[in-house]
Structure 1
Amino acid sequence: MKLLVFAQRLDPDESQMNAIALADRLRETHGYDIVLHATDGPAAQMVRDRGFRFVPAPDVTYHPAPQRMAALRRLVRGEGPDVIHAWDGWQGLEAYYAVHLRLGVPLLISDLNADVTRYLPRNVPTTFGCAALAEAAAELGWRFPMTLPMPVDTRTNAAEAVNGAGFRSRYGMKDGDVMIAAVAERPDASASGGTIRAIEAIRTLGQNLPLKLVLLGESDTDVNLRARVDAANRHLYREAVILTGAMPDPREAYAAADIVVGTGGSALRGLAFGKPLVVVGAAGFAATFTPQTAPGFLRSGMRGTGEGRFGGSAMLDALRPLAQRPQLRAQLGAFGRDFVVENHDFGRVAAQLAACCNAAKSGAASRMGDLVDAARTAFYVLRERRFRVAARTTVPGR
């Protein structure tokens, strides 16, 4: 099968890296002929190194963009792909109006958002990151919703792949310190984010336990977050909370951690390193990843919603036993690693993507359904003024 992968900008962020890696697996394992079409960026050389064609898309300041649509149409006419895989919603819109409606080329859209993107066409095969989103899309009228879990490279995201001991040494970890790794989020006014609740939990538990909370990412420049970190450290009379700053490759931190706090992709990465996990979410949600909770998290995409209690009680209840019981950490870490390999490994997800591409190629939506769907989609986009300003910054992979 000849597959044209239509992505955004080839920056080295997690989303674009997943698009490249999955395309590579389809080529290597399933024999696909891959053409990648995206705005040029730092990751373009990685595409070329992997041996499939890269055709740059125009650099634009907003989406959907007529220039990108025209370039895609020319490319499709020249290449004759069997299927176009639009990686995320804006590429989906551009491919839908540029080539699917006009030329009848089969289209597969991957909606990468944490919620169903309602302005996307409902008559086009669309993948969602978890079963709960696919079910929600079906209820909203999507005719061909499918599940495509977030992929994880379980070879490079593994404890033995990087030097966790070196990270602990650089940040002054002592023998017996229990390190908790979390991606730093920007705090909001409600202080409901997982980062804030993790800091508050350390203020409490750190009085009796040798805990170190390491916050990964660029939010170290946020004044409010820095103030909370400083207050927690003053309260405990030691550096119990550490801000690392930007980390383009945070794998050493995950390898060094004893516990990971996260959601979505960061949660899966922690599990891939064999670490016990506390999944955080909206409205005060926090729960330990266990054999009992795993099916629900698989269905929800490693996310959760609490009951609106914004205190840290759920976080405390999850962290306390993990901090106190090394054997429990080892057991849950081993279980989590097996879970990721079984459900999210790149090879397994690529096989699911191949099935989705085959379904898109063989599916036949009615012409009338396409026309009605096109009108509905245009109405939603125009009504909500859903014109995306193209990102021009590089986001570190998590």
Structure 2
Amino acid sequence: MKLLVFAHRLELGGTQINAIDLAAFLRDRRGVDVTVHATEGPALELLRARGLPFIPAPDVRLHPSPARIRALRDTVCRVRPDIIQAWDWWQGLEAYCGVHLPEGVPLVITDMMMHLTRAMPRGVPTTFGFEGLRRQAEAAGWSRTALLPPPVDTEANAPGASDGAALRRRLNVGGDAVLLVSVSRLSEYMKSESIKRTIEVVRELGDTLPLTYLIVGDGAAMPRIRETAGRANAALGREAISLAGAMTDPRPAYAAADIVLGMGGSSLRGLAFGKPVVVTGEAGFARLFSPETAEGFIETGMFGHGAGGADNAALSGPIRALARSPDLRTALGAFGREFVVANHGIEVVGDTLLRVCRAAVGYRPGRVALTADAARTAYFYLRERRFRVASRDAVERG
């Protein structure tokens, strides 16, 4: 089977890493002929390291883009794929309008957003990143849905797979210190709020607990986060918060951590390293990943919504408990590792994607259904004014 993976800009974000990991798995372990079509970015280095064939897409601001549709058509003519896997709604719409409707090229849309985008076509096979959203889409009329949670390569991301001790030495983190780690794009939307709240908690608890906080990532929110971190360090009289910037390979940070804080794919990679994880979200949401909460995260994804306000109790409570108890950290880390292997391992998720793609290759909707779905998609797209800038900070799983 020939698969064309149509992704967004290759930034160091969860969705882009997911696309690369799954493409490499399908080629290397399942014999699929894979080509990746996306806009160049920092994650291109990872894609090239995996030896994946790559055809660049134009870098544009507005989606759907005539320039990207033309480039996609040229790529389809060159590759002659059996099916296209489009990551998220803007690539999905460009593939839908550009080659699926006019040329009948089979299409699967992989949606890793946290909310249902009604402007996506309901008749195209679509995967969703967590069960609650998949069920919501099914109730709203999506006819061919599947659950495709964020994948984790549990061999490359595992205890002992990277040298965390060297990073701790470089940061001058002693053996008694408790190192908190967040790996995230520092976007103004959604991502940065929990990081700023964590800085506040470290400032609050740092006088009585030996907390150090390492932030790995870069983005538009970096200046404000650096300013917040500077104030906290000045108040504590020590370098309690460090900003490492973006790391092409952040595995040493996960390996060095005593506690990982994050959402989506980042939280899952923390679990894969056998670390206890506090899952963060919007409006002050924070919850310890544990046997009591794991089932809920299957339903909602590794994310949540809090009550808002300035109170950071939901975050400070788990951090305090974990910092005080090495035994709790060990037990939750072992549980989290087992959970990720069973539910998010690259083989589990990759084989699900392969089944979805194979089924979609042979799927041909009737002309009446296809026309009705196209009309509905156009209506919702125009109604919701989807012709807009596709933000680099779009909500994603990881």
TM-score (norm 2): 0.88
Length, aligned pairs only: 395
The aligned amino acid for 1:182 is S
How has the CA–CA distance of structure 1 residues 16 and 312 changed in structure 2, closer, same or farther, with 3 Å as cutoff?
closer
- Distance, in Å, in 2 between the alignment partners of 1:34 and 1:146 is 21
The question of whether the paired residues in 1 share the 8 Å contact of 2:131 and 2:147 is answered with yes
Question: What residue in structure 1 maps to residue 273 of structure 2?
Answer: 273
- Distance, in Å, in 1 between the alignment partners of 2:278 and 2:115 is 21
SS of the counterpart of 2:245? coil
Query: Which of 24-33 and 99-108 deviates more?
Result: 24-33
Query: Which of 200-209 and 60-69 deviates more?
Result: 60-69
The aligned amino acid for 2:234 is R
Question: What residue in structure 2 maps to residue 107 of structure 1?
Answer: 107
User: Cα deviation per residue 1:44-69 (whole Å; 9 max; x = unaligned)?
Assistant: 67656656544444454532222332
The question of whether the paired residues in 2 share the 8 Å contact of 1:187 and 1:196 is answered with no
User: Cα deviation per residue 1:294-341 (whole Å; 9 max; x = unaligned)?
Assistant: 111122221112233540111122112111110110111111112112
- Distance, in Å, in 2 between the alignment partners of 1:344 and 1:277 is 15
User: Cα deviation per residue 1:334-384 (whole Å; 9 max; x = unaligned)?
Assistant: 111121122112222110101111231233333222212212222233333
Question: What residue in structure 1 maps to residue 373 of structure 2?
Answer: 373
SS of the counterpart of 1:34? strand
- Distance, in Å, in 1 between the alignment partners of 2:85 and 2:221 is 37
User: Cα deviation per residue 1:49-96 (whole Å; 9 max; x = unaligned)?
Assistant: 656544444454532222332343344456543322112222211111
Q: Which runs of structure 2 are paired with 1:148-297 in the superposition (5 Å)?
A: 148-183=148-183, 193-218=193-218, 222-297=222-297
SS of the counterpart of 1:385? coil
How has the CA–CA distance of structure 1 residues 312 and 248 changed in structure 2, closer, same or farther, with 3 Å as cutoff?
same
SS of the counterpart of 1:213? strand
- Distance, in Å, in 2 between the alignment partners of 1:185 and 1:57 is 22
User: Cα deviation per residue 1:232-269 (whole Å; 9 max; x = unaligned)?
Assistant: 23333322222223333322121111011111121111
User: Cα deviation per residue 1:79-120 (whole Å; 9 max; x = unaligned)?
Assistant: 543322112222211111122212222210111222222211
SS of the counterpart of 1:244? strand
User: Cα deviation per residue 1:9-43 (whole Å; 9 max; x = unaligned)?
Assistant: 44554433332331222223333222333345566
Q: Which runs of 5+ in 1 are unaligned?
A: none
The question of whether the paired residues in 1 share the 8 Å contact of 2:25 and 2:350 is answered with yes
Residue 352 of structure 1 pairs with residue 374 of structure 2: no
Residue 126 of structure 1 pairs with residue 151 of structure 2: no
- Distance, in Å, in 2 between the alignment partners of 1:191 and 1:44 is 22
SS of the counterpart of 1:242? strand
Q: Which runs of 5+ in 2 are unaligned?
A: none
SS of the counterpart of 1:238? coil
- Distance, in Å, in 2 between the alignment partners of 1:125 and 1:222 is 38
Question: What residue in structure 1 maps to residue 335 of structure 2?
Answer: 335
Query: Which of 40-49 and 167-176 deviates more?
Result: 40-49
Query: Which of 62-71 and 160-169 deviates more?
Result: 62-71
Deviation at 1:193, TM superposition (A): 2.2
How has the CA–CA distance of structure 1 residues 69 and 242 changed in structure 2, closer, same or farther, with 3 Å as cutoff?
closer
How has the CA–CA distance of structure 1 residues 213 and 293 changed in structure 2, closer, same or farther, with 3 Å as cutoff?
same
Query: Which of 10-19 and 113-122 deviates more?
Result: 10-19
The aligned amino acid for 1:84 is I
How has the CA–CA distance of structure 1 residues 123 and 167 changed in structure 2, closer, same or farther, with 3 Å as cutoff?
same
The question of whether the paired residues in 2 share the 8 Å contact of 1:110 and 1:127 is answered with yes
How has the CA–CA distance of structure 1 residues 332 and 202 changed in structure 2, closer, same or farther, with 3 Å as cutoff?
same
The question of whether the paired residues in 1 share the 8 Å contact of 2:90 and 2:390 is answered with no
- Distance, in Å, in 2 between the alignment partners of 1:324 and 1:46 is 37
- Distance, in Å, in 2 between the alignment partners of 1:61 and 1:359 is 33
Question: What residue in structure 2 maps to residue 145 of structure 1?
Answer: 145
How has the CA–CA distance of structure 1 residues 42 and 314 changed in structure 2, closer, same or farther, with 3 Å as cutoff?
closer
How has the CA–CA distance of structure 1 residues 379 and 243 changed in structure 2, closer, same or farther, with 3 Å as cutoff?
same
Question: What residue in structure 2 maps to residue 4 of structure 1?
Answer: 4
The aligned amino acid for 1:257 is A
Question: What residue in structure 2 maps to residue 19 of structure 1?
Answer: 19
- Distance, in Å, in 2 between the alignment partners of 1:134 and 1:52 is 30
The aligned amino acid for 2:117 is T
How has the CA–CA distance of structure 1 residues 354 and 45 changed in structure 2, closer, same or farther, with 3 Å as cutoff?
same
SS of the counterpart of 2:382? helix
The question of whether the paired residues in 2 share the 8 Å contact of 1:274 and 1:334 is answered with yes
Identical aligned residues as a percent: 50
- Distance, in Å, in 1 between the alignment partners of 2:52 and 2:243 is 39
How has the CA–CA distance of structure 1 residues 312 and 71 changed in structure 2, closer, same or farther, with 3 Å as cutoff?
closer
How has the CA–CA distance of structure 1 residues 98 and 171 changed in structure 2, closer, same or farther, with 3 Å as cutoff?
same
The aligned amino acid for 2:244 is T
The question of whether the paired residues in 2 share the 8 Å contact of 1:184 and 1:219 is answered with no
The question of whether the paired residues in 1 share the 8 Å contact of 2:187 and 2:219 is answered with no
SS of the counterpart of 1:218? coil
- CA-based RMSD: 3.0
- Distance, in Å, in 2 between the alignment partners of 1:143 and 1:217 is 38
Deviation at 1:5, TM superposition (A): 2.0
Q: Which runs of structure 2 are paired with 1:294-333 in the superposition (5 Å)?
A: 294-333=294-333
How has the CA–CA distance of structure 1 residues 128 and 165 changed in structure 2, closer, same or farther, with 3 Å as cutoff?
same
